[in-house]
Amino acid sequence: MVKYRIDIRGVMVPNDYKWYYNLFREDCTCPRDVQNVIDAAVDGDEIEVYINSPGGVIDVGSEIYTLLHRFKNVKIYITGEACSAASIVAMAGYCEMSPTALMMVHCVSSGVRGNHSDMEHMAETLRTADRALCTAYTAKTGMSEEEALEMMEYETWLTAQQAKEKGLVDAVMFEEKKEDVPLVAGPLFELPNEEKLNRARKLLKEETSEAVPTDLLKAEWDFLMLKRGDRK
């Protein structure tokens, strides 16, 4: 397996605008940057995506989202900000967010000149675009279209924990995974934790003879028995 890296940095621009940003040494990302990495990867490879972007053109965000979503093994990490169209890209796969990062979602914006019919037409176009883009949020989180559109309407800024609570990201980076503790009926009853189970499995794996030594049996018993107050 080969691991590839994609950086979504700076504004997200169409392919034919990248030269302009490169000329002035400004960070930017275009769909071709992502496509080139995906073309080099094969089934079984892994792609890691690191996002620190204020967003950009919505159809660029949509294209990058689609490219990544079609690739099966993608892990996304928000390291700085994932705003506007960049937040759409973050919905393309498993995603972790730095505890110091921010996510921002909002409605599509544009400008128009003309009469009232032109203004009304643009307003309807923007509403249609909002409904199209919000499907990325609903697909990731399971929230309703109404909930997603409301979140976009108020230009919502989210911390990593808030994004996790809404289902927009899967985990907060650097968080220690807490071991689930089962409910028990006896006050002195205790199941072995994962560390003890792994030690027991290691002992079993190292044992090659048919006869099981007494100390191994005792270790297994200590690890796996139901503990009682009159333990022998």
Is 106 a known active-site residue? yes
Residue closest to 101 by CA, chosen among 122, 85, 83, 84: 83
Q: Which of 53, 69, 87, 106 is catalytic?
A: 106
Is 121 a known active-site residue? no
Residue closest to 78 by CA, chosen among 53, 60, 56, 61: 53
Q: Which of 53, 62, 69, 84 is catalytic?
A: 84
**Strand extents, DSSP E, the chain:** 3-9, 11-12, 28-29, 46-53, 74-83, 94-97, 102-105, 156-158, 171-172
Q: Which two tokens stand for residue 46?
A: 């892994």
Coil, strand or helix at 208: coil
Which amino acid, 93?
G
Angle ∠(81,84,87) on CA atoms, nearest 5: 60
CB atoms near residue 125 (< 10 Å): 13
Residue 16 CA to residue 12 CA, distance in Å, equals 12
Cite the active site residues. Answer: 84, 106
